[in-house]
Amino acid sequence: MKRYFARKILTYVLAFWFGATIDWVIPRLIPGDPVQAYLQRFSVQGAGSPGTWQALYKVYSKAFGLNVPLWDQYWHFWDGLLHGNMGVSLYEFPAPVTRIVWDAAPYTLALLVPAIVLSYVLGNRVGAMAARRKALDDTVLPVAYLFQASPYPWLALALAFYLGEVAHWFPISGGYAEGLVPGANWTFIWSAVQHWVLPFFTVFLVSFGGWAIGMRSLVIYELETDYARYLRSLGASQRLVRRYAYRNAVLPQLSGLALALGTVIGGNIVTEIVFGYPGLGHLIYQAINAQDYFLLQGIFLFIIIGVCLANFVIDIVYVLVDPRTRLSMQGAPA
Amino acid sequence: MSVGTTPPTTAGTEPGRVATAAVAVPVGSRRWEFMYFALRNKKLVLGLGIEVVFVLAAIFGPLVAPYSAAKFVAQPNLHPSLKHLLGTTYFGEDVFSQVLFALRDSYLVGFLGAACAALIGLVIGFTAGWRGGVVDEVLQMFTNIVVMMPALVLLIVIGAYLKQHSAFFEGCFIGVTTWPWVARAVRAQTFTLRSRDFVDLSRMSGKRGPSIVIKDIAPNMASYLFLVFVLLFGSSMLIAVSYDFLGLGPTNSISLGDMMFNSQQWSALVLHVWWWFIPPGAVMTLMVAALLIANVGLDEVFNPKLREM
């Protein structure tokens, strides 16, 4: 048990280090001088004598910590990171990046967590039901294929257009009605829920299709295995056989969940942008447009931490649902 | 979740099965048998049929497109009509022609993404599965780390710094971030194959590792690898749409994601110019859905256990 989790935790730590380092390296690999570019953007260049320009250049190099050797910069980066300091955002100057990310995170989590969990649970159920049942297979599966194959931005636009613009069932922009202040009152919560529905369904439906299709194939395969045949030949009910098949088929799906996280998060970002939903995805979009690299770095790191945590949870669940992992950890032969 | 995250079900079958069957049945009749089940499989025929239509449209589309893709050809925001089958954009461009021109890029990115991911995944998966031991541990650790890098976010961060993008670049980018599940699947399959008798025989006859992997192990996974490639193809195309939609796609050509990006930029949603964003996405959905359906059909053809009773 210890060995298993020690190895897992080492993976998470390395993943975080790897991600953070990529995050640090990328802006430095890009040709060009960031401070110069930054000053040029505010057209400081022509503002005064060459002396002013030099002085400003020095001040900003120091402010961004770019006046020291690379190795020191890397060290400062980690030092700040571990103290929860990601620098100051250019887009919402002078708010610290950590606070901006922290404010946007609840919206993203409110979309992602229910979408991932519900699509996984329901998709697996429906997929398992459809396996070897002609009527369900012919009706549910084609729909699942279409959902799985839809690009996130398109499904988002289609839902926004038909259910929002044409039918006026749901608002299509923002995280709550304009003029409201986020807080724990019913007006705000009701408004937030209404704005949540369409982006949630976009992320949910695409994932749902994928899980249903995957589960259908897995259950069909399990139903043809020797243990399932043996059970049937013993006269076990169809329901019992299916239950065992389902339990076995869930395992690869669970590994699939860990693999799918990155894609779902990506889809969520695009969806938020379509709906102007004030989460991290929307923030990324703002950061790209404002060329706010500090903010981009901060969001990326936050997402890496989230993915590491989610993987940890999936690992624990895997141990709980698969007796073999548990046994092999206690030293019994697998 | 997107396509490609659930590996084809043949993952669970014994990879050696196809080879053993080949020994029992003469090659000619086996091929005939394959064709028989392939043509009888409705999913495969339907999926391939749709895909062929789109591939032909991608190849010949730009030659027969009624208008140029990026030129002002009519009044802005015209409804679909006989003259402009899918209407016109805010800039008076013909949407139908744009779709025809955009197909090639989607296929190019899909192919490049799938090829890069398959190549990296195969090399890492084979090496880990064949060598085992410390090499396996290290490669697995590396794979698990890359899995945790959120691909699209990484692409966005990298893309935000780059000023120029091409479809070629985009495809390779996508491949470099999506290979881990291929590596995992290939490693697992190599593990089950490496202790088979026919592999032992090759080993005893003094063949070197890489040659055994290529000549003995890979052919036994051929059908599985083909399915993996199809899934990668679809998922690469889908990832590219998201990427393009953020305005980070190829700067020198038009893609389906670009069209949606532009429509969003010029408020097509609020102006009810649905013909600007619905058709490109619908085309992409059909292209990928056809691939998925053909993929499940192929799976059934390769794997008799999955066929309809």
How confident is the model at residue A158, as a pLDDT?
92
**CB of B181 within 8 A of CB of B144?**
no
Inspect the interface and report whether the beta carbons of A297 and B272 lie closer than 8 Å. Answer: no
Residue with tokens 């190795």: A71
Q: Is B197 left (phi over 0), alpha (psi -120 to 50) or beta?
A: alpha
User: Is B160 at the interface with chain A, CB within 8 A?
Assistant: yes
- The yes/no answer to whether this complex scores an ipTM above 0.95 is no
B254 SS3 class: coil
Nearest to B157 among A259, A270, A296 (CB): A296
- The pLDDT, as a whole number, for residue A286 is 85
pLDDT tens string, chain A, 334 residues long: the values are: 677 778 888 888 888 888 888 888 877 776 666 667 666 666 555 555 667 777 777 777 777 667 777 888 888 888 888 887 777 777 776 788 888 998 899 999 999 999 999 999 999 999 888 887 878 888 888 888 899 899 999 999 999 999 988 888 888 888 787 777 777 788 888 888 889 999 999 999 999 988 998 898 888 888 888 898 899 899 888 889 988 889 888 888 888 888 888 888 888 999 999 898 999 988 988 887 777 777 888 888 888 888 888 888 888 888 888 877 776 666 544 3
Judge whether B292 is closer than 8 Å to chain A, CB to CB: yes
| A26, A118, A258, A281, B12 from A209: Cα distances, Å | 35, 12, 17, 23, 21
Per CB-CB distance under 8 Å, the chain A contacts of B180 are 259
Contact (CB, 8 A) for A135 and A142:
no
> Using an 8 Å Cβ cutoff, are A116 and A184 in contact?
no
Shortest distance between the Cα of A260 and any Cα of chain B, in A, equals 5
| Cα A29 to Cα A27: distance, rounded to the nearest angstrom | 6
Chain A contact present for B214, CB below 8 A = no
In chain B, residues with a C-beta closer than 8 Å to the C-beta of A205 are none
Question: Can you tell me which residue has the tokens 């084979």?
Answer: B126
B165-177: burial string, b at 16+ Cβ within 10 Å, e else: bbbebbbbbbbbb
Q: Which residues, including other chains, have CB under 8 Å from residue A143's CB and lie 6 or more apart?
A: A209
Chain A residues with CB under 8 Å of B291 CB are 149
Q: For A85, how many CA atoms within 13 A lie in the half-sphere containing its CB?
A: 8
Q: Is A101 on the interface with B (CB under 8 A)?
A: no
- What residue of A is the nearest CA neighbor of B42? A138
Answer whether A282's CB lies under 8 Å from A104's CB. yes
Chain A residues within 8 A of B51 when measuring between CB atoms = none
pLDDT along chain B (309 residues), means of 10: 43 39 50 74 87 91 79 76 79 84 90 93 88 84 84 72 78 88 85 80 81 80 84 90 84 85 85 88 92 86 69
Q: Is A25 on the interface with B (CB under 8 A)?
A: no
The β-bridge partners of A96 are: A88
What value, to the nearest 5°, has the Cα angle with vertex A296 and ends A290 and A302? 150
Does A146 sit within 8 Å of B157, measured CB to CB? no
In this complex, which of B145, B180, B248 lies closest to A18 when CB atoms are compared? B145
Report the residue of chain A nearest B293, measured CA to CA. A145
* Domain spans of chain B, in order of start: 43-306
Chain B interface, best mutation among A118, A148, A265, by max B CB count within 10 A: A148
Give the global pTM: 0.84
CA distance linking residue B180 with residue A14, whole number of Å: 16
Domain B43-306 has CATH 1.10.3720.10: yes
Which residues 126-185 in chain A show a CB within 8 A of chain B? 132, 145-146, 148-155, 157-158, 160-161, 165-166, 172
The closest CB to that of A300, out of B9, B157, B256, belongs to: B157
Helices B95-131 and B180-194: crossing angle, nearest 10°?
40
Instruction: Count Cα neighbours of B149 within 13 Å in the Cβ-side half-sphere.
Output: 27
Sign of CA dihedral A158, A162, A166, A170: negative
CA distance A282 to A303: 14
CB contact under 8 A, B141 and A160: no
A256 vs B5, B180, B299: nearest CB = B5
Q: Which position has the token pair 């140029």?
A: B68
Chain B residue with minimum CA distance to A205 = B1
Across the interface, of B153, B239, B305, the residue whose CB is closest to A303 is: B153
- Cβ–Cβ below 8 Å for B1 and A263: yes
Task: Give the largest Cα separation in chain B, rounded.
Answer: 74
Q: How far apart are CA B224 and CA B122, in angstroms?
A: 12
Q: What is the dihedral of CA A4, A5, A11, A12, to 10 degrees?
A: 160
Q: Give B190's contacts (C-beta < 8 A, 6+ positions apart).
A: B125, B126, B128, B129, B130, B213, B217, B221
pLDDT digit string, tens, across residues B280-306: 999 999 999 999 888 888 888 887 776
Which among B1, B3, B147 has CB closest to A264? B1
Helices (H) and strands (E) counted in chain A, each on its own, are: 13, 0
> Is A151 in Cβ contact with B285 (below 8 Å)?
yes
Residue A108 Cα, gap to closest chain B Cα (Å):
14
Report the residue of B3, B6, B286 to disrupt the A interface, i.e. the one with the largest count of A CBs within 10 Å: B6
The alpha carbon dihedral of B243, B245, B249, B253 has a sign of: positive
